[in-house]
Amino acid sequence: MTDSPINPSSAARPWDLGRWIALGLLVCTGVAFWPISRWLAQEVSGSQQIRQSFVLLGAATGLVIWQHLREWRLALEVSNRALLLLLVAYLCVVGAWWLTQPLLALPAFAFGLAGCLHVLAGENAARFIRPLFTGFIACMGVILLFPLLDWPLRQMAGMNAAHLLHSLGFTPQLAVILQPAPKLLLSTGRNVFEVATECNGFGLITSGAVLAVLASGIAGRRAGVLLWLVPLAMALGFGFNLLRILLICLLAPSFPQHYHALHETAGVLMLWTGLGTVGWLAWRPPVADRASSAPSSRAVA
């Protein structure tokens, strides 16, 4: 009877000085970036449209963990790459304080998170973490863009919806009310609707872009694919949001007592249809890969 070999990587490592140093780095980084973490949590919890992108990021994280469950391990290794990432993170924090530029705290948080992940999972897990980290960067961009694009997107959605309603025989009109807060009103000749923040399409547009980044990275697509897939995902998001507004405007007169249910149903339907379309485009293998994996139709001599 022979003893089975023991995999050194799976054996329990002793808590040497290096692992204690790694743990200390994690604790110090967590304390240093706690204010930014709390701010991010407040921004995500305060907006449903921002929250959609982070929900997708969480689902992608769960998928990656499930796919590579046997390859994950608690490394607690202080590699050169981890040290470099943490150094850049702390330099960004110093720069944000010295230059009084709070926005530098966001790249600082991103680099700090990447460094901590490298310490936790080790260098071997970098290829699993990379698409998730890219998706996280995209989610942080969503937070910054939301207050800037809210009103322009509402205007674009309202004007395009008015053009489509006019082509369907309606007599739409757009009006802006500035007091007490800016409001965009869309009249169809039968009903008056407010093109509110929830109707600007920002959530669907950004969620589609984040999903394109995450799904392409997890599926192993080339980086060049993002050059056309992300803009296409954003265009699809805008289009499906426009369809949502049209559905509400067309069906609201038939359901006057159930407007809230109609509003939510149309929103959920367009959201998942749009994300499903983007996910299918991002996840499906390239044409060359499908052709190479297809069985040959030639007869064997």
If phi over 0 gives left and psi between -120 and 50 gives alpha, with beta otherwise, what is residue 184?
A: beta
Residue 117's nearest CA partner among 93, 136, 102, 95 is 136
Which pLDDT score, from 0 to 100, does residue 14 have?
Answer: 62
Residue 57's nearest CA partner among 286, 229, 214 is 214
3-class DSSP string for 62-111? HHHHHHCHHHCCCCCCCCHHHHHHHHHHHHHHHHHHHCCCHHHHHHHHHH
What's the angle, vertex CA 120, arms to CA 114 and CA 124, rounded to 5?
80
Residue 162's nearest CA partner among 145, 144, 176, 179 is 176
For residue 80, what are its two tokens? 């050169």
For residue 156, what are its two tokens? 């674009």
Angle between helices 48-67 and 34-46 (to 10 degrees): 110
Which pLDDT score, from 0 to 100, does residue 260 have?
Answer: 87
pLDDT digits (tens, 9 = 90+) for 113-141: 888 988 888 877 777 788 888 888 899 88
What is the rounded distance in angstroms from the CA atom of residue 166 to the CA atom of residue 159?
Answer: 11
Strand partners for 176? 184
Quick one: 295 exposed, middle or buried, by C-beta within 10 A (0-12, 13-18, 19+)? exposed
pLDDT digits (tens, 9 = 90+) for 179-211: 777 889 999 877 888 888 888 889 899 999 999
Please tell me the pTM assigned to this model.
0.79
Cβ-proximal residues to 132 (8 Å cutoff; 6+ apart), any chain: 57, 60, 61, 64, 214, 217
What is the rounded distance in angstroms from the CA atom of residue 248 to the CA atom of residue 254?
Answer: 10
Residue 53's nearest CA partner among 229, 209, 270, 263 is 209
What is the rounded distance in angstroms from the CA atom of residue 143 to the CA atom of residue 39?
Answer: 11
What is the rounded distance in angstroms from the CA atom of residue 253 to the CA atom of residue 243?
Answer: 17
Residue 195's nearest CA partner among 142, 170, 152, 158 is 158
Q: How many C-beta atoms lie closer than 10 Å to residue 218's C-beta?
A: 19
Find out whether 122 and 73 touch, Cβ atoms under 8 Å: yes
What is the rounded distance in angstroms from the CA atom of residue 201 to the CA atom of residue 49?
Answer: 9
In the chain, which residues have pLDDT < 70? Answer: 1-15, 285-301
Residue 234's nearest CA partner among 267, 209, 198 is 209
Which pLDDT score, from 0 to 100, does residue 285 have?
Answer: 61
Find out whether 176 and 182 touch, Cβ atoms under 8 Å: yes
Which pLDDT score, from 0 to 100, does residue 133 have?
Answer: 85
